[in-house]
Structure 1
Amino acid sequence: MQAVFATTQISERAAAFLPVERTDGFEERRYLDQRQSEYLRMLAELDELLLRNAVQWYQQQGRNADQWLSAVAAARQESRVQSGQGSATRRKSSDVFSRARKLMGERGFPEDQYPPKLVGFTPQQFGLERVARKGLERLKWELERYEPFALSVYSGATREFRTVNAPVRLPVDPLSPGEVEETCILTGGDPFAAGERVRPGVLSAVAGGAVVQLPETVSGRRLALARWIAGADNPLTARSIVNRVWGWHFGRSIAANPNNFGSTGGRPLHPELLDWLAAEFVDSGWSVKSLHRLIMSSRAYRRSSRPADAADVARLDPELRCLSCFPARRLTAEELRDAMLSVSGELNLQVGGIPNRPELHAEVALQPRQVMGSFAAAWVPNPLPAQRHRRSLYALRLRGLPDPGLEVFNLPTPDFSCERRDSSTVTPQVFVQFNSQNSWSRSLAMASRVLRETATEDGAIQQCFRLAFGRSASATELRQCLQHWRDLEAVQREAVFRTPVPPPEVVRDAVEENTGERFQFTEKLYGMDHFVPDLRAEDCDARTRALADVCLVLLNSNEFIYVH
Structure 2
Amino acid sequence: ELDEKVRADRKEERGEAKTGDNGLNPGDEASLARMAKNISRHQWEFDRTKPIALAVHSGNTIERKNVSSRIMMPGNPWGKGVMEKDSILTGGDIYSRGAPVRPGPLSAAVTLGEMAPSKFPDGRGKRRLALAEWIVDKKNPLAARVMVNRVWSWHFGRGIAGNPSNFGGGGSLPTHPELLDYLASWFKGQGWSVKKLNELIVSSAAYRRSSRHPNSARLNAKDLRRQLYALGLARRLTAEELRDAMLAVSGELNRQVGGIPSRPDINREVAFQPRQIMGGTASVYEPDPLPRLRNRRSLYAEKTRGLRDPFLETFNQPGPDQSCELRETSMVAPQALTLFNAEEVHERALAFAARLLGETGSDRAALGRAFTLALGRPASAGEIADCLVHWKAAVEEEEGRIYEPLAFPEKIKRTVMAEKTGRPYEFWEHLPAYEAYVPDLQRSDVDARTRGLAQVCLVIFNLNEFAYLD
The TM-score range, normalised by the shorter chain, is 0.7 to 0.9
CA-CA distance at 1:431 after TM superposition: 1.6
- Determine helix, strand or coil for the equivalent of 2:352: helix
Cα shift readout 1:201-239 (whole Å, capped 9, x = no counterpart): 112443336211111123310111111111111111211
- Determine helix, strand or coil for the equivalent of 2:140: coil
Aligned match for 1:379, one of 272, 285, 294: 285
- Determine helix, strand or coil for the equivalent of 1:522: strand
CA-CA distance at 1:499 after TM superposition: 5.2
Distance 2:109 2:134 in 1: 11
Provide the residue aligned with 2:437 in structure 1: 531
Provide the residue aligned with 2:401 in structure 1: 495
Structure 1 segment 6-405 matched on structure 2, within 5 A: 174-175=77-78, 177=80, 180-191=83-94, 193-207=96-110, 208=112, 210-405=116-311
CA-CA distance at 1:530 after TM superposition: 1.1
Task: Say whether the 8 Å CA contact 2:350–2:451 is kept in structure 1.
Answer: yes
Task: Say whether the 8 Å CA contact 1:508–1:521 is kept in structure 2.
Answer: yes
Distance 1:489 1:417 in 2: 47
- Determine helix, strand or coil for the equivalent of 2:231: coil
- Determine helix, strand or coil for the equivalent of 1:468: helix
RMSD value, Cα: 2.2
Task: Give TM-score, length-normalised by structure 2.
Answer: 0.79
Structure showing greater relative contact order (alpha-carbon pairs closer than 8 Å, 6 or more residues apart): 1
Distance 1:318 1:405 in 2: 35
CA-CA distance at 1:290 after TM superposition: 3.7
Task: Say whether the 8 Å CA contact 1:206–1:235 is kept in structure 2.
Answer: no
Cα shift readout 1:265-298 (whole Å, capped 9, x = no counterpart): 2221221211121122223343434433433343
Task: Say whether the 8 Å CA contact 2:413–2:428 is kept in structure 1.
Answer: yes
Aligned match for 2:366, one of 432, 443, 460: 460
- Determine helix, strand or coil for the equivalent of 1:494: coil
Distance 2:332 2:304 in 1: 24
Distance 1:194 1:171 in 2: 32
Distance 1:268 1:294 in 2: 20
Alpha-carbon spacing, 1:503–1:190, altered in 2? closer, same or farther (3 Å): farther
Provide the residue aligned with 2:51 in structure 1: none
Alpha-carbon spacing, 1:256–1:360, altered in 2? closer, same or farther (3 Å): same
Q: Alignment length, in residue pairs?
A: 397
Alpha-carbon spacing, 1:516–1:239, altered in 2? closer, same or farther (3 Å): closer
CA-CA distance at 1:192 after TM superposition: 5.2
Distance 1:328 1:279 in 2: 29
Cα shift readout 1:143-200 (whole Å, capped 9, x = no counterpart): xxxxxxxxxxxxxxxxxxxxxxxxxxx9986435456233322222345543222111
Task: Give TM-score, length-normalised by structure 1.
Answer: 0.67
Further displaced range: 262-271 or 378-387: 262-271
Task: Say whether the 8 Å CA contact 2:289–2:436 is kept in structure 1.
Answer: yes
Cα shift readout 1:22-76 (whole Å, capped 9, x = no counterpart): xxxxxxxxxxxxxxxxxxxxxxxxxxxxxxxxxxxxxxxxxxxxxxxxxxxxxxx
Cα shift readout 1:71-120 (whole Å, capped 9, x = no counterpart): xxxxxxxxxxx9xx9xxxxxxxxxxxxxxxxxxxxxxxxxxxxxxxxxxx
Provide the residue aligned with 1:441 in structure 2: 347
Distance 2:202 2:129 in 1: 34
Distance 1:408 1:354 in 2: 26
Provide the residue aligned with 1:57 in structure 2: none
1:554 paired with 2:460, answer: yes
CA-CA distance at 1:358 after TM superposition: 1.0
CA-CA distance at 1:319 after TM superposition: 3.9
Aligned match for 1:420, one of 313, 321, 326: 326
- Determine helix, strand or coil for the equivalent of 2:229: coil
Distance 1:514 1:279 in 2: 60
Distance 2:427 2:291 in 1: 30
Distance 2:273 2:75 in 1: 42
Alpha-carbon spacing, 1:262–1:454, altered in 2? closer, same or farther (3 Å): same
Identity of aligned residues (%): 51
Distance 1:471 1:511 in 2: 55
Distance 1:447 1:325 in 2: 35
Distance 1:534 1:458 in 2: 26
Distance 1:318 1:178 in 2: 63
- Determine helix, strand or coil for the equivalent of 1:527: helix
Task: Say whether the 8 Å CA contact 2:85–2:100 is kept in structure 1.
Answer: yes
Distance 1:510 1:178 in 2: 46
Distance 2:285 2:325 in 1: 29
Task: Say whether the 8 Å CA contact 2:83–2:123 is kept in structure 1.
Answer: no
Q: State which structure, 1 or 2, has the greater radius of gyration over its C-alpha atoms.
A: 2
